[in-house]
Structure formats: structure tokens, C-alpha cells
Amino acid sequence: MIRSTVARVDLAALQSNFRAIRAFVAEPTSSPRDVGRVPAPTHAASPPAHATAQPAVIAVVKANAYGHGDGRVAVALEQAGATMLACADIEEGIVLRRAGVTVPILVFGALSVSDLDGLFEFALTPTISTPSAARAVQAAAAARKTSVGYHLKVDTGMNRLGFRHDNLRWMLPDVLSSPNLRLDAIYTHFATADDPEHALFGEQRVRFEEAVRTVQALGIPKTLLRHTANSAALLRDSRVWYDFVRPGLLLFGIVPPPLASTLDLQPVMSLTSRVVAVKGLRPGESVGYGGRFRADAP
């Protein structure tokens, strides 16, 4: 059966969007004022001195690449130069590996501690956000006589996943001492990056900076990698670019409202159909369930 409605995904547009984002964060004079309707202090106009000169890009392809088809999208992003991909769970990561992805894949979500085989079989990078997850991954790695690198998630105000920012001194020593676990990066997630009027964004940035210092005080090298910036945060404040940025919606040509952008983005998906019927109406006649539309002219 030939369907009259078709969704088309333009992988060339996807790759163009990726390159536009990468070029923007590579520009040391880039300013949030240039891309969004978000006031930014002058000192936020360029990445902070402790950030890398050019943040790498973690391309977020969770939820079937936001409905665009994760396997083909992920391969196209790797070809375009994505340093790392990110997905929601182990199952999504396995799909990406089977599609041919070779770059590191970060699993954002909570781990199913009873089913960790996929982490090792498909070389996925887990997020550790609870002590129990750390113990489970440590035990699984030790049983396999191997080690695994992970990203540590800190909850700075989203109050979803992650170690509380104000409990790190007590909660992390056991995690950091795990002999088969290697801390590669630390990150957090902003709850209100797309709300220019909300003070929580700035509070989370400050809490994250303090969390990084706390982890370093526990013996982790100052070269520890950091990332926080989803699409909205990427546009809003270059101080939060750190070592990686994590665009999701921007990759697909969508600017999170109410922000605006001058980035040269293209819509990746188009939806086309055809008219299947034309019906004539007389004044006063209604259409469809509930009769919510009523014609005031022929």
C-alpha cells in the first residue's frame, strides 16, 4: 500500500546543522547576544579561561533521535564529526552500535543494574548518578576483569537524576575509590535554560562550579572533563560550554522557544501529504465532530 503522507529526513541538513553548531562554539568571540533574546553580562561573551579553546560536540540522539530515526541519524552525525553521541538507555546504545556507530556513546539515563551486559559488550559509557549504580557497575567490571570509564552526574537543581551537589563530600569517596571504575567527566543538566527570567539557571551554574571543585578536592585531576550545555544553554551563555556542548533539538533545526538564533539551521524533517477530498460548504454549515468550524461564506 502506498501511503499519501510521508515524513522525509534530510541527513545533509542534519550534518549542516551540526557543522553550524560546531563552528559557533569554536568561535572565541561568540556571544549569547548574537544568537538569542537572552541578556548576558559582558564577561560571558567568550568561554572562561579554564574551558577548552574549542568545546567538542556530544550529539544527543535519545528517543529515536527525537523521532528522526536513530541509526541513520547517528551514523550521519559521526560522519559529520561528532566526538560522542548520547542516548537515554543501554538499549538505545546497542541500537546505535548495531547501526555502525564507532565513537563513544554516553548513556544518560538510570542504569538497569540487573542488566549491565550491554555496557561491556557494546562499549557504552555509563552515567553514574547513584551509589547503587556505582556498586553494580564496579561489581560487573570486576567480574569481567576489566575497567570502565563513566561520567558522573551531579544534581544542581533539576531534582531528577544525579548526586546532590551539597552531598558530594560524603557520597563520592566510595565511588571514586572503586578500583574498576574510571571517572572521565562530570556533568549536570539545567532545568530552566530556556527561561530567560528564571534565576535557577545561574544558581545551577554556580553550584556546578562548586561541585567540580569539590570533586577535585577529593583527588580527581583538574583536567576532569565537564559538560552542561543542552541546546538552550548553548545559545544562552558561553560560560557553560566547558569541554563539551550537548545539542539535541538544535541538531534538527529546532530553536527552543522563546529563544531565538541567528545560527544557519535547516529543518531536518519535512512532512508532506496530498488532498484526498474537497467538500463544498454553504454558509452556516459546520464540519466534523462537534461542529467546531462553521462556514460564514461559501
Catalytic residues: 62, 289
Cell of 213: 571543585
| Length of the chain, in residues | 298
Distance CA 271, CA 236 (A): 30
- Return the DSSP state at 145: T
Q: Which three cell numbers stand for residue 274?
A: 496530498
How far is Cα 219 from Cα 34, in angstroms, rounded to an integer? 39
Specify the DSSP class assigned to residue 129: -
Instruction: Compute the CA torsion angle 12, 14, 20, 22 (nearest 10 deg).
Output: -120
Dihedral, 205, 206, 208, 210 alpha carbons, nearest 10: 170
Peptide bond into 258 cis (omega under 30): yes
| Assigned C-alpha cell, 82 | 561528532
Given the C-alpha cell 542534519, which residue does it identify?
A: 14
Q: Which letter does DSSP use for residue 123 in this model?
A: T
Dist CA 235 CA 37 (whole Å): 9
The Cα–Cα gap between 270 and 166 comes to 45
The dihedrals phi and psi of 294, each to the nearest 5 degrees, come to: -130, 130
Q: In angstroms, what is the C-alpha Rg of the chain?
A: 22
Local structure of residue 247 (DSSP, 8 states): -
